[in-house]
Amino acid sequence: MSIERVPTVVFKTRVRDESVEGPNPYRWQDTSTEDLFAGKKVVVFSLPGAFTPTCSSNHLPRYEELYDEFKANGVDAIICVSVNDAFVMFKWGKEVGNKNVFLLPDGNGEFTRKMGMLVDKSNLGFGMRSWRYSMLVDDGKIEKMFIEPDFGDNCPIDPFEVSDADTMLAYIKGADAPGVTEARKAFEG
């Protein structure tokens, strides 16, 4: 791994704000990597897309399921990054039942590109997306990364072997990784 720190990026996020009048009390807010990582221990996992099979049935739901255990082991936040816009990430989170994992929209793919994880998934009609990976970040410094095998453009498969919640939690605890658990939710589509 050549990158040692998370790249400096400003994300376009949506936040609930009761001072916004009308039926949709949300506003745009710029959120920087400094806001997300400074002085914190953060688990980040990145995936190809909201509303996709592995991401929706296992990757996000298992991190959500183990959230309290991560917190008990010194993790301040868990962030899920995807090259999707803020509206898609919001609706996906609601559909999956996400409550604790921060869904971070990397709509322009800038963070993912600067991480060296942007890949072409045109073979699936996705365009440019994130490769699946996870990392432990301490005050902006990348302590550990788990990158799925077969990294590359137009990969015909979607490996999910090492970026899962159980592998990351085992790493944090200094234990052997138990392997990817079964899907937590059904996926249709």
Catalytic (active-site) positions: 55
Q: Which residues, 6+ apart, have CB-to-CB distance to 52 below 8 Å? A: none
Using an 8 Å Cβ cutoff, are 27 and 20 in contact? yes
| Cα(165)–Cα(65) distance, integer angstroms | 9
Q: Which two tokens stand for residue 66?
A: 């183990």
Q: Which two tokens stand for residue 103?
A: 């869904």
Q: Which residues pair with 171 in a beta bridge?
A: none
Q: Which amino acid is at 124?
A: L
What secondary structure does DSSP assign to 121-148, as a single string? Answer: -GGGT--EEEPPEEEEEETTEEEEEEE-
Q: Which two tokens stand for residue 136?
A: 């432990």
Task: Find the helix or strand (DSSP H, E) in which 96 lies.
Answer: helix 86-96
